[in-house]
């Protein structure tokens, strides 16, 4: 969607409203093949697992993003404006004339590397422009050259040498100029300074030149020949189809996602390994040291119904007699042929977009303070560009700097990627490899269930025998009891495609020979439907609007990836070439959820009232929750009103981690900012101050955390998880597997591949996951002293614990919890060893040994 948005942005020339065809994608590994090497599953190549956030889609941001994407890193670019290209954005004005929204931009360069890099995305056209300064009825040549000397002083200088000699007689003072006034006087004397520079500079900066550093006028050259051209020594060329067009190309890469209208927020950082910030550095720190001042501009666009309105590209107004500083006829730069023209009239302003940093010594000192703060507090954030470095930079300089910065970034990120490569998940090392979740039957049958189709479903089950597993999607509030084992998913009002997309993720159904989706109507005979489906060629089935879809297992991934395009009512899939679907790194359609936090909670009949209460209480506090409840037993009557707001999944005989593995697939959860996993035995859950809890977790940027456990609870195995007086939160390298864990979406996506299906209880994993997340670069990436995990003391919970646990079913293996627990612990130990992680001994914990290492709190980081 973001990419489409980009393409819709007003572009110049014929690029306007153009739809960019999807570029062919490199071949992707076939994740669906049953004989595929399992080690490759879910673990994208190492660089792709390093995620970088680039703030700002101007020259600085776009160049870095592209270079990192080319090297295989995944880059998210955000910009708070509704277009790409930063200040160089150009578009077609309502008059038909191509204009530069933030003022005319002339590209000129001398650096070959810059030219070569940009030439990958655009062709060029040369330009030449001339300027004059209008004073008291005369248009003087500008920048100053021999003709200006002649015009102002009424002379007839004929050679550059003569002019230089004359200029020398005008010059006042020598040595290092202390300010802009001294600089001008030393170069051109009082008369020219007062005529052409003094008030122009005042109008532009709202400060007299003697208060400004020499650098602000140093950009304007003085020549002694009579060549009228504005710039010498640099090649002057414009992107032939405009800047915006070129930016679309730079950012058009499968590893780059662009989100416009998206201002940077600090909480975003927890989702990325690295941040490149090209926005204002003072804003990043919420102006804590004070604002860095900028000068801004207003541009009036004056349309003239004639081919040209003025004789030159630019006319400066350097005296106080006119309020504007310059008039620019943009067509003289772009060379556009059109019978109308637009003059951009510039008015400098105090307020508005931050355009020109004001480089006074006081401001530069303040900037240095921000820079030092950034280096000590945010070593993983790189500040770049005109706003990040608080310095006026021409576009070519920005590109040059961005190329150098990305060289440096690539060095560090590639080291990071190599470390991650060593962390690839190897099921073969693992006792409990990822397994087929439902069963090992031949076909998985998925079907919406309603009162009318219950007989069909029952007959179908009878006719299929044990070779089929059944999943039923229930989109109304009725509760069915079927005489055979099946999985039910209740989610009111969702279309079939939504269920399929969300619950039949290819990674989870790859053990099946085929997946069959049925949309029966009363009167359909199950055996006929099944046999017909199986005899049709897959392609025909995929493309035809039938009431059943039968997809051979190996093709399921492709089919599933095309799900957003399915006609909801008739389940009519439109086949798109596999290559056009980035798989599996795509986002679910917005209809899945717009929630920020996905709350997943285990329920049984006893815990159902708690689930109702939690849903109501939390939804009332903050409406951005999505709830999914997992019932490991039939839960009987369910309040239909409540069911409207949640998803309830019932699968018999399975336990917590099985559900989490099965239904909280990263492809689904990555839409959420956070993921809250909850047990059903939290006595204080409805009153739990969820907003505050989330706020602290966000502020501390925990990748994984839990609330502290109140000591009066019955399940308080771990004394160090009790709240600590006076502490909001503390960093830790131990987070319990229950009773309540909060993950960032990103952390969960990283952890999920390591999660075992057969894990019925969490013991042991708690000793591994904190270490694992840190190794994956979460948490610590933001500030070296920070760990990834934490305990939040300010909002403790009361864990009811063992009383309920005793009533819970036996583990899936049919063993007692204790036996199962020690088995899991052994498995966790193996896991830690295979990953070369530090493993903490649980038995040591009980005996109060110092073998559980808590960093409480980490000294360098004062917690609120
Ligand atoms: C009036 C004017 C005329 C100029 N003319 C020329 C010229 O002729 N030739 C030349 O070489 N250079 C010119 N420049 C300079 C040129 O504009 C800059 O060199 C270039 O735009 C800098 O690129 P950048 O990526 O660093 O910053 P920008 O182009 O400003 O891009 C930064 C982007 O970051 C975004 N952003 C900022 N903060 C946030 C945030 N918190 N969250 C999300 N997004 C954010 C902004 O919306 C912006 O799009 C001119 C500049 C101005 C102001």
483 belongs to a structural domain: yes
- Residue 222 scores a pLDDT above 90: no
Claim to verify: residue 101 and residue 9 sit in the same structural domain: yes
Claim to verify: residue 303 and residue 254 sit in the same structural domain: no
Using alpha carbons only, what angle is made at residue 766 by residues 765 and 767, rounded to the nearest 5 degrees?
A: 85
pLDDT, position 801: 56
Last residue of a domain, one of 528, 559, 580: 580
Instruction: Please write the tens of the pLDDT for every residue from 782-829.
Output: 444 456 788 899 999 988 754 444 444 444 445 555 666 677 777 777
Q: How far is the CA of 116 from the centre of ligand 1 (A)?
A: 21
User: Helix 395-421 to helix 59-70 angle, to the nearest 10 degrees?
Assistant: 30
| Paired tokens of 162 | 């003569």
124 belongs to a structural domain: no
Q: How far is the CA of 87 from the centre of ligand 1 (A)?
A: 4
Claim to verify: residue 323 and residue 370 sit in the same structural domain: no
- CATH number, domain with residue 342: 3.90.660
Q: How confident is the model at residue 234 (pLDDT cuts 50, 70, 90)?
A: confident
322 belongs to a structural domain: yes
Claim to verify: residue 352 and residue 386 sit in the same structural domain: no
Q: What is the DSSP letter of 539?
A: H
pLDDT, position 109: 92
Q: Which of 76, 88, 327, 356 to mutate to test the pocket of ligand 1 (most atoms within 8 A of CB)?
A: 88
789 alpha carbon, distance to own chain's centre: 22
Between 833 and 353, whose confidence is greater? 353
CB 675 within 8 A of CB 743: yes
Instruction: Please write the tens of the pLDDT for every residue from 144-167.
Output: 999 999 999 999 999 999 999 999
Claim to verify: residue 29 and residue 61 sit in the same structural domain: yes
**Mean pLDDT value of segment 744-765:** 74
Last residue of a domain, one of 580, 607, 634: 580
Instruction: Please write the tens of the pLDDT for every residue from 89-118.
Output: 999 999 999 999 999 999 999 999 999 999
Q: How far is the CA of 400 from the centre of ligand 1 (A)?
A: 15
- Residue 565 scores a pLDDT above 80: no
The CA distances from residue 13 to 106, 124, 313, 329, 331, in Å, are 17, 15, 20, 17, 12
Domain count of the fold of the chain: 4
419 belongs to a structural domain: no
Quote the radius of gyration of the chain (alpha carbons, Å).
33
CB 334 within 8 A of CB 328: no
854 belongs to a structural domain: no
The CA distances from residue 790 to 369, 486, 588, 675, 781, in Å, are 30, 38, 30, 15, 15
Claim to verify: residue 654 and residue 526 sit in the same structural domain: no
Tokens 């899945």 map to which residue?
592
- CATH number, domain with residue 60: 3.40.50.720
375 belongs to a structural domain: yes
* Burial of 582 (C-beta count, 10 Å sphere; 0-12/13-18/19+): middle
273 belongs to a structural domain: yes
CB 554 within 8 A of CB 578: no
- Is the C-beta atom of 354 inside 6 A of ligand 1? no
The CA distances from residue 775 to 42, 416, 486, in Å, are 17, 10, 39
**Mean pLDDT value of segment 594-613:** 81
C-alpha–C-alpha distance, residues 191 and 169, integer Å: 12
Claim to verify: residue 721 and residue 572 sit in the same structural domain: no
Claim to verify: residue 831 and residue 702 sit in the same structural domain: yes
- CATH number, domain with residue 731: 3.90.550
Q: How far is the CA of 256 from the centre of ligand 1 (A)?
A: 20
CB 588 within 8 A of CB 668: yes
pLDDT, position 812: 45
Q: Which of 64, 85, 86, 108 to mutate to test the pocket of ligand 1 (most atoms within 8 A of CB)?
A: 86
Ligand 1 atom nearest to 81, measured from its CA:
47
The CA distances from residue 91 to 83, 96, 240, in Å, are 10, 9, 14
Q: Whose CA is nearest to atom 6 of ligand 1?
A: 105
267 belongs to a structural domain: yes
Q: Which of 347, 386, 390 to mutate to test the pocket of ligand 1 (most atoms within 8 A of CB)?
A: 386
Claim to verify: residue 609 and residue 742 sit in the same structural domain: yes
Strand ranges (DSSP E) for 217-270?
235-239, 256-259
Claim to verify: residue 167 and residue 115 sit in the same structural domain: no
Ligand 1 atom nearest to 83, measured from its CA:
49
- Is the C-beta atom of 60 inside 6 A of ligand 1? yes
Q: What percent of the chain has pLDDT over 70?
A: 72
813 alpha carbon, distance to own chain's centre: 41
Tell me the residue range of the domain where 618 lies: 593-846
- Is the C-beta atom of 55 inside 6 A of ligand 1? yes
- Residue 212 scores a pLDDT above 80: yes
Residue 274 backbone class (left: φ over 0; alpha: ψ -120 to 50; beta: rest): beta
Q: How confident is the model at residue 240 (pLDDT cuts 50, 70, 90)?
A: very high
User: In this structure, are strands 138-142 and 487-491 parallel, antiparallel, or unpaired?
Assistant: unpaired
- Is the C-beta atom of 109 inside 6 A of ligand 1? no
- Residue 430 scores a pLDDT above 80: no
Claim to verify: residue 601 and residue 638 sit in the same structural domain: yes
- Is the C-beta atom of 59 inside 6 A of ligand 1? yes
Claim to verify: residue 177 and residue 212 sit in the same structural domain: yes
The widest CA-to-CA distance across the chain, in whole angstroms, is 108
C-alpha–C-alpha distance, residues 294 and 291, integer Å: 9
* Burial of 645 (C-beta count, 10 Å sphere; 0-12/13-18/19+): middle
Q: How confident is the model at residue 681 (pLDDT cuts 50, 70, 90)?
A: confident
pLDDT, position 59: 98
- Comparing 408-412, 667-671, 780-784, which segment has the lowest mean pLDDT? 780-784
Between 645 and 528, whose confidence is greater? 645
- Is the C-beta atom of 398 inside 6 A of ligand 1? yes
């Amino acid at each position: 969607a973001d990419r489409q948005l980009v393409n819709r942005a007003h572009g110049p020339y014929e690029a306007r409203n153009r739809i960019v065809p999807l570029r062919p994608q490199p071949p992707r590994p076939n994740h669906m093949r049953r004989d595929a090497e399992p080690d490759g599953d879910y673990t994208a190549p190492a660089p792709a697992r390093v995620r970088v956030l680039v703030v700002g889609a101007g020259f600085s941001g776009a160049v870095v993003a592209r270079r990192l994407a080319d090297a295989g890193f995944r880059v998210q670019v955000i910009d708070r404006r509704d277009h790409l290209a930063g200040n160089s954005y150009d578009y077609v004005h309502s008059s038909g004339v191509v204009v530069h929204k933030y003022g005319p931009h002339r590209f000129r360069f001398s650096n070959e590397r810059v030219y070569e890099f940009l030439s990958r995305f655009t062709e060029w056209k040369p330009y030449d422009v001339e300027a004059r300064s209008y004073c008291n009825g005369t248009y003087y040549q500008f920048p100053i050259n021999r003709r200006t000397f002649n015009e102002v002083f009424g002379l007839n200088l004929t050679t550059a040498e003569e002019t230089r000699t004359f200029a020398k007689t005008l010059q006042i003072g020598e040595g290092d100029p202390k300010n802009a006034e001294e600089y001008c006087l030393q170069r051109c004397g009082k008369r020219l300074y007062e005529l052409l520079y003094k008030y122009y500079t005042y109008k532009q900066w709202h400060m007299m030149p003697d208060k400004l550093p020499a650098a602000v006028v140093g950009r304007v050259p003085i020549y002694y020949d009579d060549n009228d051209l504005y710039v010498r020594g640099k090649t002057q060329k414009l992107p032939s189809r405009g800047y915006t067009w070129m930016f679309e190309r730079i950012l058009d890469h499968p590893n780059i996602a662009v989100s416009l209208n998206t201002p940077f927020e600090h909480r975003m950082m927890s989702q990325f390994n690295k941040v490149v910030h090209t926005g204002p550095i003072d804003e990043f720190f919420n102006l804590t040291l004070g604002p860095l001042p900028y000068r801004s501009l207003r541009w009036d666009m004056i349309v003239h119904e004639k081919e040209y309105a003025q004789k030159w590209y630019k006319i400066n107004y350097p005296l106080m007699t006119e309020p504007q500083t310059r008039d620019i006829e943009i067509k003289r730069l772009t060379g556009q042929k059109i019978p109308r023209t637009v003059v951009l009239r510039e008015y400098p302003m105090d307020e508005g977009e931050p355009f020109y940093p004001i480089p006074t010594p006081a401001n530069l000192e303040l900037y240095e303070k921000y820079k030092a703060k950034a280096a000590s507090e945010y070593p993983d954030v790189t500040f770049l560009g005109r706003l990040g470095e608080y310095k006026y930079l021409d576009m070519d300089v920005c590109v040059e700097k961005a190329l150098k910065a990305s060289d440096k970034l690539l060095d560090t990120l590639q080291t990071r990627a190599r470390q991650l490569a060593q962390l690839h998940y190897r099921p073969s090392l693992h006792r409990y490899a990822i397994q087929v979740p439902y069963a090992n039957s031949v076909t998985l049958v998925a079907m919406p269930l309603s009162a009318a189709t219950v007989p069909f479903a029952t007959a179908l089950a009878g006719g299929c025998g044990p070779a089929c597993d059944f999943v039923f999607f229930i989109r109304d509030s009725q509760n069915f009891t079927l005489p055979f084992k099946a999985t039910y998913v209740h989610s009111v009002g969702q279309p079939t495609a939504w269920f399929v997309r969300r619950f039949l993720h290819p990674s989870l159904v790859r053990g099946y020979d085929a997946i069959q989706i049925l949309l029966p109507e009363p009167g359909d005979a199950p055996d006929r439907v099944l046999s017909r489906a199986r005899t049709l060629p897959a392609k025909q089935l995929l493309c035809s609007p039938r009431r059943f879809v039968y997809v051979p297992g190996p093709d399921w991934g492709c089919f599933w990836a095309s799900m957003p395009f399915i006609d909801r009512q008739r389940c009519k899939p439109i086949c798109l070439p596999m290559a056009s679907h980035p798989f599996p790194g795509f986002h679910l359609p917005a209809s899945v959820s717009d929630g920020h936090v996905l709350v997943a909670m285990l329920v049984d009949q006893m815990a159902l009232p708690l689930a109702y209460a939690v849903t109501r209480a939390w939804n009332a506090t903050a409406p951005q929750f999505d709830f999914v409840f997992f019932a490991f037993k039939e839960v009987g009557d369910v309040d239909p009103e409540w069911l409207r707001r949640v998803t309830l999944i019932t699968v018999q005989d399975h336990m917590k981690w099985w559900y989490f593995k099965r239904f909280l697939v990263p492809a689904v959860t990555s839409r959420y900012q956070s993921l809250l996993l909850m047990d059903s035995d939290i006595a204080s859950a409805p009153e739990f101050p969820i907003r505050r809890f989330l706020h602290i977790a966000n502020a501390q940027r925990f990748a994984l955390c839990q609330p502290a456990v109140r000591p009066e609870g019955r399940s308080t195995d771990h004394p160090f998880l009790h709240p600590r007086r006076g502490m909001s939160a503390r960093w830790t390298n131990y987070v319990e597997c229950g009773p309540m864990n909060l993950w960032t979406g990103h952390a969960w996506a990283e952890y999920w591949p390591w999660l075992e299906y057969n894990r019925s209880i969490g013991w042991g994993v708690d000793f591994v996951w904190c270490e694992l997340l840190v190794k994956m670069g979460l948490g610590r990436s933001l500030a070296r002293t920070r760990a990834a995990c934490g305990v939040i003391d300010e909002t403790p919970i009361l864990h009811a614990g063992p009383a309920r646990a005793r009533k819970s079913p036996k583990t899936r293996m049919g063993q007692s919890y204790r036996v199962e627990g020690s088995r899991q612990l052994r498995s966790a130990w193996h896991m830690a060893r295979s990953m070369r992680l530090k493993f903490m001994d649980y038995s040591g914990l009980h005996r109060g040994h110092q073998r559980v290492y808590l960093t409480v709190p980490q000294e360098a980081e004062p917690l609120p």
